[in-house]
């Protein structure tokens, strides 16, 4: 199967933000080609001339991949998201095609186990020896390996909360990493919801390989169409604009004392999100990683 390769030309300063927005519309495993990383590496004393080939002389290239039939909608969404990127350079977009099997094989070479305070996230095709909780993960063509700052902050919040016996909702679940991690940390039940069928198929697979299918339910569709009742903890690792759109919907799945973890919020959009959510929720903590913010709220 062939996939569309989307390349965005930007700057070093904006590359992480561009990568985040590209990941929202593409497969996981976004690549950043920054020549500064090549030349400013003090541990290298020699490089082959071929090492320069993937890089642009003047700009940073951020690449991601999507199904060919999804290319038009992906580009429309991406162009809208890139409008808020500051100091982003040209933000020129180029499109090509790649063979899917080759891309997936390359991604599997680069996805290594990720260790948090309490959990080791291990690719399904690898093994790890640890005393910590282990979450096996195959992202397939879904989002979420735990490598991005926005997911890392959510995992930090999850590990500091007492999830024992709690019911959890993971909105925009991607690979299912947050909902499944919550179950490993003691939650009694989790619902995982995503609008993307590819994502929910992967989340179901990940629940199966971790032996968690009896404690979770994975649903495809919009939050309001698929979810009823109230939860003890809600995770929503999305973008500021989507969190704004889901504000009233999330308010329908909480009760007094429900904890809400929001992430995927650019620093420049934090105030916008808080202005919407603080009418119903109190802010307990704000985390920062690079340009990204994660927020822990509680229902009033």
What's the burial of 17, exposed, middle or buried (CB within 10 Å: 0-12/13-18/19+)?
A: buried
292-299 and 254-266: which strand pairing?
antiparallel
At residue 130, the pLDDT reads 81
Residue partners of 50: CB distance under 8 A and separation at least 6: none
| Tokens (6 digits) for 196 | 């993307």
pLDDT bin (cut points 50, 70, 90) of residue 91 is: very high
Sheet with 2-10, side-by-side order of all strands: 31-33, 60-67, 2-10, 92-99
Which whole number is the average pLDDT over 69-88? 90
Of all residues in the chain, what percent carry a pLDDT higher than 70?
Answer: 83
Angle at 92 (CA atoms; ends 89, 93), nearest 5 degrees: 140
- What pLDDT is attached to residue 44? 41
Q: What is the pLDDT of residue 142?
A: 44
Structure-model confidence comparison of residues 1 and 32, the more confident one: 32
243 by DSSP, 3-state: which? helix
Residue 113 exposed, middle or buried by CB count within 10 Å (0-12, 13-18, 19+): middle
- Tens digit of pLDDT for each residue in 222-256? 887 778 889 999 999 988 888 998 999 999 999 99
pTM of the model: 0.72
């Amino acid at each position: 199967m062939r996939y569309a390769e989307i390349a965005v030309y930007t700057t070093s300063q904006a590359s992480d933000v561009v990568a985040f927005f590209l990941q929202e519309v593409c497969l996981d495993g976004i690549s950043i080609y920054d020549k500064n990383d090549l030349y400013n590496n003090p541990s290298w004393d020699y490089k082959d001339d071929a090492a320069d080939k993937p890089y642009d002389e003047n700009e940073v290239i951020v690449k991601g991949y999507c199904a060919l039939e999804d290319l038009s909608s992906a580009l429309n969404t991406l162009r809208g998201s890139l409008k808020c990127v500051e100091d982003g350079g040209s933000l020129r977009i180029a499109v090509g095609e790649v063979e899917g099997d080759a891309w997936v094989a390359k991604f599997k070479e680069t996805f290594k186990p990720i260790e948090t305070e309490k959990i080791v996230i291990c690719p399904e095709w690898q093994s790890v020896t640890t005393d910590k909780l282990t979450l096996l993960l195959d992202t397939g063509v879904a989002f979420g390996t735990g490598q991005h700052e926005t997911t890392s902050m959510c995992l930090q919040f999850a590990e500091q909360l007492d999830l024992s016996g709690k019911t959890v909702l993971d909105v925009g679940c991607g690979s299912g990493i947050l909902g499944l991690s919550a179950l490993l940390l003691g939650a009694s039940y989790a619902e995982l919801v995503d609008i993307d069928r590819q994502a929910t198929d992967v989340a179901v697979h990940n629940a199966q390989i971790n032996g968690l299918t009896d404690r979770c339910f994975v649903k495809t569709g919009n939050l309001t169409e698929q979810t009823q009742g109230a939860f003890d903890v809600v995770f929503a690792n999305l973008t500021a604009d989507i969190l704004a759109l889901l504000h009233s919907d999330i308010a329908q799945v909480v009760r007094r004392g429900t904890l809400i973890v929001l992430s995927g919020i650019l620093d420049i959009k934090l105030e916008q999100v808080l202005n919407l959510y603080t009418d119903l929720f109190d802010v307990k903590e704000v985390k920062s990683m690079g340009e990204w913010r994660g927020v822990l709220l509680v229902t009033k």
